[in-house]
Amino acid sequence: MIFDIVKSQYYYVGIYAMPWVSRCCVGLSIGMLCGVLAQTIALIFIIWKTDWEVQRPNSQRYSYGSVEHVNKASERLNRWFLKPTDEIS
């Protein structure tokens, strides 16, 4: 859904509509800026209207296993760092 908003606001508003409306040399640049502005407004509206209490259980489903991955990555990184007892004085 978010990608559709990004695509529609940036590409349809920014690249096609604004240069056609402005009919000047800077139409594409102004159009791209207006597309980014329209995208930002649409995303702010979506974030504002989202019921975050409903989304909270979904976040637990997507974060399953992330603690284990962080621990494994930390163990791998710790192999590369010297511990205080291993430092040469």
pLDDT tens, N- to C-terminus, the chain (89 residues): 666 766 666 666 666 665 566 665 556 667 777 778 888 888 899 888 888 778 777 766 666 666 677 677 778 877 777 666 655 55
pLDDT score for 18: 59
**At 79, which amino acid appears?**
R
The total of other beta-carbon atoms located within 10 Å of residue 42's CB is 16
Indicate yes or no: pTM above 0.75. no
CA 16 to chain centre: 24
Reading the block at residue 20, the tokens are 């056609």
Name the nearest CA neighbour of 42 among 74, 71, 70, 4: 4
Reading the block at residue 53, the tokens are 């209490």
